[in-house]
């Protein structure tokens, strides 16, 4: 799924140098070899916005894993003589693939 691949690539690029951490009003990446050297990711004037920004990569990684897990559960099954259509592996009602779960996720990702 292209939207998920794009998100995964952006996340990897943003966290390539390390985890994002809060340092005062800044969200920073510490250089693991730099004896305290760091790169400022964002400078935030209001403290209530610092944590969401600092946690964005971790939260995004968890959300990607959750969506990918759901999509892995709801994958296409080959037709069989008793169900001669492509069914969903995650839905027990024999519904056709893509099922409503996959359609909902796909549509939401296309809106991004």
Smallest gap from Cβ 60 to Zn ion, in A, equals 24
Name the DSSP letter for residue 78: P
**Binding string to Zn ion for residues 28 to 57, with x set by CB under 5 A, is what?**
------------------------------
For residue 22, list its beta bridge partners: 27
- 101 touches Zn ion by CB under 5 A: yes
Number of amino acids touching Zn ion (CB under 5 A) = 6
Residue with tokens 């005062």: 24
Nearer to Zn ion, 4 or 91 (CB): 91
* Minimum distance from residue 88 beta carbon to Zn ion (Å): 3
Position among 28, 54, 71, 88 found at the interface with Zn ion (CB under 5 A):
88
Locate the DSSP E strands across the chain: 20-23, 26-30, 38-43, 76-77, 87-88
Alpha carbons 93 and 88: distance in angstroms, whole number: 9
**Six token digits for residue 8:** 């995964």
> Binding of Zn ion at residue 61 (CB under 5 A)?
no
């Amino acid at each position: 799924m292209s939207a998920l691949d794009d998100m995964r690539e952006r996340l990897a690029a943003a966290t390539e140098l390390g985890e994002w951490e809060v340092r005062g009003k800044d969200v920073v990446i510490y250089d693991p070899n730099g004896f305290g050297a760091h790169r400022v990711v964002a400078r935030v004037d209001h403290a209530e916005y610092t944590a969401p920004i600092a946690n964005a990569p971790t939260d995004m990684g968890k959300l990607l894993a959750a969506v990918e897990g759901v999509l892995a559960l709801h994958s296409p099954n080959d037709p069989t003589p008793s169900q001669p259509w492509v069914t969903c592996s995650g839905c027990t009602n024999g519904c056709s693939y893509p099922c409503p779960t996959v359609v909902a996720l796909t549509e939401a990702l296309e809106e991004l």
